[in-house]
Copies of this chain bind each other. A is one copy, B any other.
């Protein structure tokens, strides 16, 4: 948000500078009005393209924003969600257990309740559903 304010402030300043310059140029007869206007048009066109590119690229990087409300709606707890993420990363129950410093049976408990909450029969289906619901990164 701060960035946006900064960018737009810069734009306004640039506009003022350009307009001062154009007036001076026109009056002094160094540069024709057409060229000044053309330059302004092109510059602002490029700025527009650039700004938008950055914004959309950022969107694309995070791919899809995670729907935290849906996670809550489904009653998925914090720990369960952590397990879900690890599942979608292709880890086994044992590997998840080691990573989260708990026993494998704990992970099994979490997985079972996740399957119920996501209405899935298998962990692979849970991955598919979770991605469709946009509660995990795609």
- Measured CB to CB, the residues of A under 8 A from B are 11, 15, 18-19, 22-23, 26, 33-34, 36-38, 40-53, 56-57, 59-60, 87-92, 120-129, 131, 138
For A38, give its contact among B19, B23, B129 (CB under 8 Å): B19
Closest to A138 in B: B138
A60 partner residues in chain B, CB cutoff 8 A: 56, 59-60
- Please name the 3 residue pairs, one residue from A and one from B, whose CB atoms are nearest each other, closest first: A48-B48, A90-B125, A90-B128
Do A52 and B56 have beta carbons less than 8 Å apart?
A: yes
Closest to A36 in B: B37
Do A90 and B37 have beta carbons less than 8 Å apart?
A: no
A138 partner residues in chain B, CB cutoff 8 A: 131, 138
Shortest distance from the beta carbon of A131 to any chain B beta carbon, whole Å: 8
Do A92 and B122 have beta carbons less than 8 Å apart?
A: yes
Shortest distance from the beta carbon of A65 to any chain B beta carbon, whole Å: 13
